[in-house]
Amino acid sequence: MSRHFKIHHFDSIDSTQFEARKNIYGPGDIILSDIQTGGYGRRGREWQSPPGNLYCTLVEAFPDFSHLSWLGYAVGLALYEAVQPLLKQG
């Protein structure tokens, strides 16, 4: 099965998660921004989002939430494998 993703890029946005919750996006849509002006972390703490980092949210539909326990590990591993070849060895 082929999977298609659609990237919605913003120069600046309050929060990629706030944008994703507007219900105008569907599964596979990625909200990406160069800067977030209203990002937040755990427990509502302000999230610093200066230019030069990755700020994105993937919109996905999960019909069965029982499989989500491994999702954080899988995403972390995928990011590591994607970025590791680009890092300087030192």
pLDDT band at 2 (very low <50, low <70, confident <90, very high): low
H or E element in which residue 7 lies: strand 6-13
Tokens (6 digits) for 65: 């939430």
> At which residue do the structure tokens 């954080």 appear?
72
* Position 26 pLDDT exceeds 80: yes
What's the pLDDT at 9? 96
| Span 49-87, pLDDT tens digits | 888 888 889 898 777 777 777 878 888 898 889 888 888
69 vs 62: CA distance, rounded Å? 12
Once rounded to an integer, what is the mean pLDDT over residues 8-21?
A: 92
What's the pLDDT at 44? 78
* Position 1 pLDDT exceeds 60: no
